[in-house]
Amino acid sequence: MSTATLPPAVEPFTLADLVERFGPLPFSRIRSTPPPGLATEADFLATADTVKPLCELIDGVMVEKAMGHLESWLAGWITTLLNNFVVPRGLGRVLSSDGPIRLQAGQIRIPDSSFISQERLRGCDLSQSILPVAPNLAVEILSVSNTRREMSRKLTEYFDAGVELVWFLEPRHRVVQVFSSPTASTELRTGQMLTGGVVLPGFVVTVDELFAPLDRELPKTHE
């Protein structure tokens, strides 16, 4: 009499596993429910509309996005700049900082802003909550809790999935890192121009304009 062979039991990640994958990431950004290592796309969808801050799904781990109100404000401005160029030309869609994208099965990222061309959108089921196609352009706004290992991994995942251009914005130093691959980048500072490259030919904005919202004072109220 033979017995069926059972698949090995799946175990949640240990703290050592998390450090190995994400580096010295603040554990306050790791959701404990479901247990790290066991989260699924169903868990992601169940919390996406009700639990804040938003999470990305990485290796079965729900990781909160590191974004405060200033990063959110800046992300909204960049999304506006991109929409002002993309929409009149019918080039595709621009997603804001709550637009989840499946880079591969079980790996869901949420760029702070992203552009997806009409060509890539053609044939996609756009009624899905998670867009099943990689963007042409992904924008990430770095915060103090983003680790080097975390962002290096994200960069590699983007290009492995077919992203053509990645912008990393560092608001504290007013710097933009433009990546055309995980290992090829250009650093832009105030006074220089950021372009859309081969992804968005004709799109041009100064680095100063990109960070302009951070320097604007709120209007004073009169009592």
Domain ranges of the chain: 15-64, 69-215
Residue 7 pLDDT: 39
Residue 11 has pLDDT above 50, yes or no: yes
Structure tokens at 23: 């580096």
| H/E segment holding residue 75 | helix 69-89
Q: Give the model's pLDDT for residue 4.
A: 43
Taking the C-alpha atoms of residue 132 and residue 108, their distance in angstroms, rounded to an integer, is 9
> Which fold would CATH assign to domain 69-215?
tt1808, chain A (3.90.1570)
Average pLDDT, stretch 169-180? 95
Contact 28, 17 (CB under 8 A): no
Give 9's pLDDT tier (boundaries 50, 70, 90): very low
pLDDT tens digits, 82-113? 999 999 999 999 999 888 999 988 899 999 99
Is the per-residue pLDDT at 27 higher than 60?
yes
- If pLDDT is split at 50, 70 and 90, which confidence band does 217 have? low
Question: What are the distances in angstroms from CA 212 to CA 71, 143, 215?
Answer: 13, 17, 5
pLDDT band at 12 (very low <50, low <70, confident <90, very high): low
The β-bridge relationship of strands 165-170 and 137-141 is parallel
pLDDT digits (tens, 9 = 90+) for 186-211: 999 999 999 999 999 999 999 999 99
Amino acid 2: pLDDT:
42
Q: In the prediction, which pLDDT does 79 show?
A: 96
The per-residue pLDDT for 179 is 98
- Work out the end-to-end distance of the chain between its first and last CA atoms, rounded to an integer number of angstroms: 87
Which of 82, 154, 93 has its CA nearest to residue 118? 93
Top mean pLDDT of 128-132, 184-188, 212-216, 218-222 is at 184-188
One-letter amino acid at 38 equals L
Which residue in 136, 130, 132 sits closest to 54, CA to CA? 130
pLDDT at 51: 67
Which residue would you say has higher pLDDT here, 27 or 144? 144
Mean of pLDDT over the chain: 86
Can you tell me the distance from the alpha carbon of 44 to that of 47, in angstroms, rounded to the nearest whole number? Answer: 6
